[in-house]
Chains A and B, each alone.
Chain A
Amino acid sequence: MALPFPPRLAEAARDIRAGRLSPVDLTELCLARIARHDPELRAFLSVRAEAARVEARRADAEIRSGLWRGPLHGIPLALKDAIDTAGERTTIGSRVFADRVPTQDAELVTRLRRAGAILLGKLECHEFCLGGPALDAFAPPARNPWNRDLYAGGSSSGAGVAIAAGLCLGAIGTDTGGSVRIPAALNATAGHKPTYGLVSNHGIHPLAQTLDHPGPMAWTSEDCALILAAIMGPDSKDPATLGLKPSGDVAATGAGIAGLRIGVVRNFSDGPDLATPAINANLEETAATLARLGAEMRDIVLPDLWDYTVCNTTIMTSEAFANNAPWLRATPDKVSAFTRGRMFLGAFLRAEDYQRARRMRRVLIAATRAAMAPVDAILCAGMLAPPAPVASMRKFYYLQRPLITAPFNVTGMPALGVCSGFDADGLPIGVQIAARPLDDALVLRIGAAYEAATPWRERRPPLAE
């Protein structure tokens, strides 16, 4: 018998609060779907079924007794396996850490538990959040539910797959160059990279601290907003967290977008060796939809996408090697060939190139800020091409073309990836919506308005019965 897809997070939250849905039943549905579909999809590295059942029963009892903790109470979520959970294995997708059991929860896990979320388990991530899709890795890459042979994105690949396949209602990923938004685009989910410093990195394996952004992934923008509201905020254990609140109520995504000024960035995708015609056409259709919803669409031009990419790659490669050098030197045979090569590259970068990239970051922020002066938010493509077959992907493919998600890691701006349609082969297409730092509520509001006006949230990937 076919198992139904679970409801969207926001819908489940309303039903749980009203007593129409039991966290126990919802958790059992997710566990049954994991048992049915995950052997093929490989989204989970570990499933804590019994612990999740205990948490679900506790949530059920609390809500029945009148203690409702908020919209995540009783909601089954999952975590990228780079995020520490006390007493439970956290591998960062590597043989190096195959038996690593942290003693403390990451700060955002503490906040999710406090909010009453049910944690189903840990999700596949590319080794050290960088080295995929590697077929010789500790865990093989999660499989794209829209076409099992194609790349599912990364490095938060398990999260994108699990959400699209309805194995959980939301997840936390991490994004250093696009690792929340790329799997969101390739799996047709939503994924939000918050403002840099809005969510604590404490207890998360660092890839590149000055670019790392933990963020929520879910089926809709509204769902992402509800997760973000629970995990954001200052943390004394992460000095990079901001002491400031976002502008507006992050969870209030229903206000519409009439009168907003949104700049369309075409120079990231429309040009030689950039996006496919289908992706550029999709960007125009998305802009037209936002205009119909009352937004004032304007053209804006941002700096060359390669500038952001080079800045991001230089900083990320340098910091990633520095963070992971001890085990790369001591146990290189435990690391996949993809990871080893990409990480080793950082050993050969010059210190002054790292420093110049950090200066370039400031220059790019200034140019971005100036270009954005006439608008409230921007819209650009979320990908340059459909996903490639995993078997065809090469170790250093990312040096051959610019990375359309990198600008918002470099600038620290909040950036939301949403599904904006499907191509002729039935594969998802995504766009990004970004705004000034701390305007997370604004981008989530735009995403929610767009999703409500389009049919893309009604289509789920084909799964075996």
Chain B
Amino acid sequence: MTNDPSPPRILSREAFAALAAANGLAMSEAELAELHEAHGALARLLTRLDAAELRTGETWPDSVVAAWER
């Protein structure tokens, strides 16, 4: 258990549909199913963002030169 209050990255079909509706996104059932599957594929890729060094610290500074000069 963690005390992380954010929603889980992987969503059930029901939770995904509820979030789509809350977001005001209109789509057919078939589109929703396809999008849910794609979201699952993307969520698996996003485990690359779970490294400890990415949980805190500075982000992109909106200047490529500033980023390279650090």
Chain A partners chain B: yes
Task: Give CA–CA (A399, B41) in the complex, Å.
Answer: 7
The answer, yes or no, to whether B65 is at the interface (CB within 8 Å) is yes
In the complex, which of the residues B16, B41, B55, B65 contacts A242, with contact meaning CB atoms closer than 8 Å? B65
In the complex, which of the residues A310, A355, A411 contacts B46, with contact meaning CB atoms closer than 8 Å? A310
A344 touches B7 (CB 8 A): no
Asked, given contacts A347-B20, A352-B6, A356-B49, whether A396 binds B38 with beta carbons under 8 Å apart, the answer is: yes
The answer, yes or no, to whether B1 is at the interface (CB within 8 Å) is no
B23 touches A411 (CB 8 A): no
A399 touches B64 (CB 8 A): no
- Rounded to whole Å, the gap between the CB of B3 and the closest CB of chain A is 14
Asked, given contacts A332-B25, A395-B34, A396-B41, whether A361 binds B59 with beta carbons under 8 Å apart, the answer is: yes
The answer, yes or no, to whether A244 is at the interface (CB within 8 Å) is yes
How many residues of A are in contact with the other chain, CB < 8 A?
Answer: 51
Asked, given contacts A210-B60, A350-B6, A362-B58, whether A344 binds B27 with beta carbons under 8 Å apart, the answer is: yes
In the complex, which of the residues B16, B35, B39, B67 contacts A362, with contact meaning CB atoms closer than 8 Å? B67
Asked, given contacts A362-B70, A363-B53, whether A341 binds B25 with beta carbons under 8 Å apart, the answer is: no
For A351, the chain B residues whose CB sits under 8 A away are 6
Task: Give CA–CA (A360, B41) in the complex, Å.
Answer: 20
The answer, yes or no, to whether A329 is at the interface (CB within 8 Å) is yes
**Beta-carbon contacts of A311-338 to B below 8 Å, as 1s and 0s?**
0011001000000000011001000010
Asked, given contacts A341-B38, A362-B59, A362-B60, whether A347 binds B23 with beta carbons under 8 Å apart, the answer is: yes
The answer, yes or no, to whether A441 is at the interface (CB within 8 Å) is no
B48 touches A353 (CB 8 A): no
How many residues of B are in contact with the other chain, CB < 8 A?
Answer: 41
For B23, the chain A residues whose CB sits under 8 A away are 329, 347
Task: Give CA–CA (A365, B61) in the complex, Å.
Answer: 12
Asked, given contacts A196-B64, A347-B25, A412-B67, whether A314 binds B31 with beta carbons under 8 Å apart, the answer is: no
Task: Give CA–CA (A399, B31) in the complex, Å.
Answer: 17
Task: Give CA–CA (A410, B56) in the complex, Å.
Answer: 19
B16 touches A348 (CB 8 A): yes
A361 touches B67 (CB 8 A): yes
Task: Give CA–CA (A337, B30) in the complex, Å.
Answer: 11
Find the B residue at minimum CB distance from A438: B65
B19 touches A307 (CB 8 A): no
The answer, yes or no, to whether B14 is at the interface (CB within 8 Å) is no
For A340, the chain B residues whose CB sits under 8 A away are 27, 31
For B57, the chain A residues whose CB sits under 8 A away are 359, 362
B39 touches A412 (CB 8 A): no
Asked, given contacts A341-B35, A350-B6, A350-B7, whether A329 binds B59 with beta carbons under 8 Å apart, the answer is: no
Task: Give CA–CA (A436, B25) in the complex, Å.
Answer: 41
**Beta-carbon contacts of A401-421 to B below 8 Å, as 1s and 0s?**
000000000011100000000
Main secondary structure of the interface of A (DSSP, over half): helix
Q: Which of B1-42 contact A (CB under 8 A)?
A: 6-7, 9, 11, 16, 19-20, 23-27, 31, 34-35, 38-39, 41-42
In the complex, which of the residues A341, A353, A356 contacts B31, with contact meaning CB atoms closer than 8 Å? A341
The answer, yes or no, to whether A141 is at the interface (CB within 8 Å) is no
Find the B residue at minimum CB distance from A350: B6
The answer, yes or no, to whether A195 is at the interface (CB within 8 Å) is yes
The answer, yes or no, to whether A158 is at the interface (CB within 8 Å) is no
The answer, yes or no, to whether A291 is at the interface (CB within 8 Å) is no
A310 touches B64 (CB 8 A): no
- 26 inter-chain pairs at a CB distance below 8 angstroms, sorted by A residue, are A197-B63, A242-B63, A242-B65, A309-B45, A310-B46, A310-B48, A310-B49, A314-B46, A317-B42, A329-B24, A329-B25, A344-B20, A348-B11, A350-B6, A353-B49, A358-B59, A359-B56, A359-B59, A361-B59, A362-B57, A362-B58, A362-B70, A363-B54, A396-B38, A399-B42, A399-B45
Binding site for B on A (CB under 8 A): 195-197, 210, 240, 242, 244, 306-307, 309-310, 313-314, 317, 328-329, 332, 337, 340-341, 344-345, 347-353, 355-363, 365-366, 369, 395-396, 399-400, 411-413, 436-438
Binding site for A on B (CB under 8 A): 6-7, 9, 11, 16, 19-20, 23-27, 31, 34-35, 38-39, 41-42, 45-46, 48-51, 53-65, 67-68, 70
Known contacts A240-B63, A347-B23, A437-B68; can you find 19 more A-B pairs with CB under 8 A?
Answer: A314-B46, A328-B25, A329-B23, A332-B25, A340-B31, A341-B35, A344-B25, A345-B38, A347-B20, A348-B39, A355-B59, A356-B49, A357-B49, A359-B56, A361-B67, A363-B53, A363-B54, A396-B34, A437-B65
